[in-house]
A and B are shown apart, each in its own frame.
Chain A
Amino acid sequence: MTGLVKTYFNHLHQYFLQFVPLSKEAFEKLVPYFVIRELDKKTIIVHPGEVDDYFNIIAKGLVRKYMVVNKKEITIQLATEGHMIHSEISFNTRVPSDCFIETIEPSVLISMSYENLQKVYATFPEFEKLGRLVITDMFIRKDIRDMTQLKNSTRERFVTYMKKHPDMLQRVPQKYLASYLNIKPETFSRLKHLLRSK
C-alpha cells in the first residue's frame, strides 16, 4: 500500500469510527473488499440504464449525480471528500439507474462492489450494525436536505448552503450549484452579492 492509499483508508476508518468502535484489526478485515478508483475529471461512472455496481466514498475530489429530464440536467447530489455517492435505487435493488454519476474534478473513490458488500455481510455478520448505522445516517441527511429544499426560500437555500460549504463556489460550475439548489442561474448570480457584504 502506498502512503497515499494508506491515508485514504485511514480516513475511511475515521469515518466508520463515528458509528461504532472499530479496532484497527477489525477494520483491516474490510480493506481487501474495497477498490481504489482514480478518475479523471468529467468521467461518467454510471450511465442511466446501467445497474450501479459500486457504492463509493470520496477520498479526494468532487462528484455529481444528475438526471436528464427534457434535455435539462437536474443535479441531485454534489459530493466531496468524506461523503458517499451512488445511485441508491439501482445499487440496492439491482435495477437500471435513472441517473448519471460524473466526476467534476479528478477524483479518488474508495469503492465496494455490490457483490463484495454481500460477501462482507455473509462473512462478518458483526458488520451488520455498522452497515445499519451508515445507511441510517444517509437516510437522515437526505431527509434534512429534502426539507431544506422544500421549506426554505430561494435566498435562504442559497445563504445556508454557501455558509456551510464556502469552498463549493470555487469548485463547482455555477450552473450545477444553481440546479442543485433549484435556483435559476440568473437568480443565482444575483444572490452572490449576499456573500460579499458580510
Chain B
Amino acid sequence: MEGLYDYIKQFAVLDRQEFDLLAQMLEVKRFDKKAVVTQSGEIENYLYFVSSGLVRKYFVYGKKEIITQLACEQDLVSSSVSFLSRKPSSYILETLEPSLLLGLSFDNMEKIYQMGPRMNRLGRLIIIDWLVQKEAWEHERIKQNPRERFVNFIRQNSELVQRVPQKHLASYLNMKPETFSRYKHLLSK
C-alpha cells in the first residue's frame, strides 16, 4: 500500500486518513504470467494499481496487436474508457509477468466520490493525467520518426527494455520488430 500512497501523494490532495478510507475499498488481485485481466467486449470493472508485475494494454487491428500501454510498478492501468463510460472495452489487458494488482471497482469508486470534493479532485487530477499522457503518446507518434521514438523511449525506460519482449516494445513504439532490432546498434554508442 505504501507504493500506492506515494503515487497518490504526488497529487497533493488527500491526507493519510483519507487515503486509508480509499485503501479499504481496494481488492487485491493476483494474476499469473500471460493472464488476461480484461477481455475486449467486456465492460471494464476495475481501475488497477500495479503493486508488482507488468501489464500490457493493447487492441487488435486486423491481425496486428497494437500496444498502447506497458504498465509496471507504480502505474495505473485499466481499460479506462470502458471503465468510465460503462461501454464494452476495445482493449485487452494482459500480464507479461506474474502480477499483484490493487483493483478499485466502479461501484467503490462511486462510493469514494460521494465522500466529497477532495475525492472528486483526486479523480479529476488522475483523469487529466491520463488525458495528457494520451495526447503526448499521439503527438510523439506524429512528430518523431521511428529512430527518435526508439532512442527517447529506451533512454527513459531502461528497465522496461529488460523486462518486456522485443516484439511488444516494437508494437508499443509503432515499428516493425526488424526495425527495432536494427536500431539496437544505436545503444552501444
Q: Is B85 an interface residue (CB 8 A)?
A: yes
A67 to B134, Cβ gap below 8 A? no
In the docked arrangement, what's the CA distance between A150 and B64, Å?
Answer: 12
Q: From A132, A142, A143, give the contact of B123 (CB < 8 A).
A: A132
Q: Is A10 an interface residue (CB 8 A)?
A: no
Which residues from B are CB-within-8-Å of A135? 124, 127-128, 131
Residue-wise, chain A 14-31 has the 8 Å CB interface mask toward B (1 for contact) of 000000000000000000
Q: Which of A106-114, A120-128, A170-178 faces chain B?
A: A120-128
Which residues from A are CB-within-8-Å of B132? 88-89, 92-93
Q: Is A1 an interface residue (CB 8 A)?
A: no
B121 to A121, Cβ gap below 8 A? yes
- A140-181: which have CB < 8 Å to B? 140, 142-144, 146-147, 150-151
B117 to A128, Cβ gap below 8 A? yes
Nearest-Cβ distance from residue B145 to partner chain A, whole angstroms: 9
Which residues from B are CB-within-8-Å of A146? 134, 138
Q: Is the interface of A mostly helix, strand, loop or mixed?
A: helix
Nearest-Cβ distance from residue B63 to partner chain A, whole angstroms: 13
B139 to A131, Cβ gap below 8 A? no
In the docked arrangement, what's the CA distance between A139 and B151, Å?
Answer: 28
Q: How many B residues face the partner with a CB closer than 8 A?
A: 28
B81, closest chain A residue (CB): A143
B136 to A89, Cβ gap below 8 A? yes
A136 to B61, Cβ gap below 8 A? no
Residue-wise, chain B 126-147 has the 8 Å CB interface mask toward A (1 for contact) of 0110111011101100110000
B131 to A88, Cβ gap below 8 A? yes
In the docked arrangement, what's the CA distance between A139 and B125, Å?
Answer: 12
Q: Is B120 an interface residue (CB 8 A)?
A: yes
Number of A-B contacts (CB under 8 A): 77
Which residues from B are CB-within-8-Å of A150? 59, 61, 66
B81 to A139, Cβ gap below 8 A? yes
Q: Is B69 an interface residue (CB 8 A)?
A: no
Q: Is B168 an interface residue (CB 8 A)?
A: no
Nearest-Cβ distance from residue A181 to partner chain B, whole angstroms: 14
A139, closest chain B residue (CB): B131
In the docked arrangement, what's the CA distance between A93 and B59, Å?
Answer: 28
Q: Is B74 an interface residue (CB 8 A)?
A: no
B135 to A132, Cβ gap below 8 A? no
Q: From A92, A125, A151, give the contact of B61 (CB < 8 A).
A: A151
Which residues from A are CB-within-8-Å of B138? 76, 146
Q: List 22 A-B contacts (CB under 8 A).
A: A67-B142, A69-B143, A74-B142, A89-B135, A92-B128, A92-B132, A98-B139, A125-B116, A125-B117, A125-B118, A128-B121, A128-B124, A129-B120, A131-B120, A135-B124, A135-B128, A135-B131, A138-B131, A139-B80, A139-B84, A140-B84, A147-B90
Which residues of A pack against B, CB within 8 Å? 67, 69, 74, 76, 88-89, 92-93, 98-99, 121, 125-126, 128-129, 131-132, 135-136, 138-140, 142-144, 146-147, 150-151
